């Protein structure tokens, strides 16, 4: 099996100033707020057929990523790729065959709505999500 990537689903940015970033992406770049989950510090903005997720570093999700953006912290949490003909078992076998540690799998919301996905990291430690 080889993976055939269809598109980028979403990008997640960890941010210090959530409202300032919403203002920038909405008012400057023209994205629209599609979904807010204030209880966990997540705002999802529509960018065409994709989403840009903003995660407050001091929120529930943001604290899981460690130090905030800057010289000592990372800004990008993960990016997500849509996989044509996504089959979790086959994808898991493929990744393991390449020595990739497979993370949590489950139903998650992305640009195409709810869908099955799985997390992993690239060799540099960047988060990657593969989804149907």
- pLDDT tens-digit series, residues 77-115: 898 989 889 999 999 999 999 999 999 999 999 998 999
- Top CATH class of 5-131 equals alpha beta
Pairing of strands 32-37, 42-47: antiparallel
Say whether pLDDT at 69 is over 90: no
Q: Which residue has the tokens 């300032």?
A: 20
- On whether the CB atoms of residues 35 and 44 are closer than 8 A, the answer is yes
CA dist., res. 29 & res. 54, Å (int)? 14
Beta-carbon count within 10 A of 119 CB: 18
Q: What is the DSSP letter of 77?
A: E
Q: Which residues pair with 73 in a beta bridge?
A: 70
User: Residue 19's pLDDT band (boundaries 50, 70, 90)?
Assistant: very high
């Amino acid at each position: 099996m080889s993976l055939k990537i269809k598109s980028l689903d979403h990008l997640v940015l960890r941010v210090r100033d959530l409202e300032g970033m919403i203002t920038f992406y909405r008012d400057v770049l023209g994205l629209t707020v599609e979904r807010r989950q204030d209880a966990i510090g997540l705002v999802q903005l529509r960018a065409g057929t994709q989403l840009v997720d903003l995660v407050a570093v001091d929120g529930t999700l943001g604290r899981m990523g460690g130090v905030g953006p800057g010289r000592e912290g990372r800004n990008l949490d993960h990016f997500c790729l849509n996989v044509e003909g996504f089959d979790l078992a086959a994808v898991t076998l493929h990744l393991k065959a390449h020595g990739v540690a497979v993370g949590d799998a489950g139903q998650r919301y992305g640009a195409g709505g709810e869908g099955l996905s799985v997390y992993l990291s690239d060799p540099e430690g960047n988060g990657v999500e593969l989804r149907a």
